[in-house]
Amino acid sequence: MNLQIENKQVFFTDTGEIFDQKKHSIILLHGSGQSHVVWSLTAQYLSDQNYNVFALDFPGHGNSEGDSLKTIEEMAEWLEKVVIKIGIQDLTLVGHSQGCLVALEYATKLPKKIKNLIFVAGSYEIPVNKSLIDLAHSGNMESLNLMMKWGYGHSKQFIGGNPLQKILNSSREVIEVLSVDLKACNNYKNGLKAVKKIKCPTFFIFGESDKMIKLEKGKEFSGLVPGSKIHIIKDCGHMIILEKAFEMREKIIEFLKK
C-alpha cells in the first residue's frame, strides 16, 4: 500500500487487513540498504495474531520515493510523519540493525507514543568499517557481498543468494542507498543517552554468532534498560530476520502477549 508524505509516495506492506484503530499496531523497521521484503516471513504472521502490521520502506528504499535520509534523526522524524498520517495511537516498534537506531531515537523523542520496543540484532551505536563505507560510496557491488558475508552466521546459510543484491540492483543504488545508510549509522551518537531514557517494556533478540553486533555488545545494550527481556538465538548471525525468522517472530509474539 502507499501513502503520501510531503508529496512523496511511501510504501508499506499490505497484509490484507484494513487498519483497525481498536487493534495494537506494529511497525517493522528494516536495516541498511534493505526494504520491507526482509520482513516477508514476519509481517503476515504478526498480522494473523490480530495486530495492525506495517513493514515500511524508508525514503529511497524499495518502493518508496525520495532520497535516502542522511541521518538517524531525520529517519525518526520521518517515521513520526508516517505514524500521524496512518493515525496510529498504540504503537510497538520492531527494528532490525539500523532500524534499531531509528526506533531508539524515535522513542526518546516521543516516549508517550510507544507501548513496546523490540530490538533485533541492534545496539545503541553501530560503527561501520571505513573500508566498507568507501566501497559503498564508490558504488562497488562487492560491498553487498561483504555485508552479507559478515551478516550471516555461517556461509552455508547464504545458499539462497545475496538478499541485498535482490534489493539493490546497480552501482547507483549502492551509492544512493547503502552508502547513505552506512554513514548514517556510523555518525549516530545519541544512542547511549537515548537508551537510558527508555521506560516502556523492551525486548532484545540477538544472534549468538553475530559478527556485526557482538553478543557482548548486545548484552551491554540490553543491560541499560531495567526490566528488559532478552532472547539469544543459537547458530544465528546478524540477519536474524532471514536466518531464524520463525523463531524470532514466535518470541516477539510471546513477548507481546504477556
User: Would residue 157 count as lying in a domain?
Assistant: no
Split into its structural domains, the chain has a count of: 1
Domain coverage including residue 224:
2-127+188-257
User: Would residue 159 count as lying in a domain?
Assistant: no
User: Would residue 156 count as lying in a domain?
Assistant: no
pLDDT tens sequence across 102-132: 999 999 999 999 999 999 999 999 999 999 9
Q: What is the edge-to-edge ordering of all strands in the sheet holding 25-29?
A: 52-55, 25-29, 91-96, 114-120, 202-207, 229-233
Cell numbers given for 160: 539462497
Those residues with Cβ within 8 angstroms of residue 94's Cβ, 6 or more apart along the chain or in another chain: 26, 27, 28, 29, 103, 118, 120, 252
| pTM of the complete model | 0.95
Q: Given the C-alpha cell 520496543, which residue does it identify? A: 117
pLDDT tens sequence across 199-258: 999 999 999 999 999 999 999 999 999 999 999 999 999 999 999 999 999 999 999 998
User: Would residue 225 count as lying in a domain?
Assistant: yes
User: Would residue 111 count as lying in a domain?
Assistant: yes
Q: Provide the sign of the torsion angle of the four alpha carbons 98, 104, 110, 111, taken in this order.
A: positive
Q: Provide the 8-state DSSP code for 67.
A: P
* Whether the Cβ atoms of residue 41 and residue 246 lie closer than 8 Å to each other: yes
User: Would residue 158 count as lying in a domain?
Assistant: no
pLDDT tens sequence across 12-42: 987 767 788 889 999 999 999 999 999 999 9
User: Would residue 169 count as lying in a domain?
Assistant: no
Please report, for the domain that includes residue 214, its CATH number: 3.40.50.1820
How confident is the model at residue 66, as a pLDDT?
95
Q: Supply φ then ψ for residue 112, to 5 degrees.
A: -70, -15
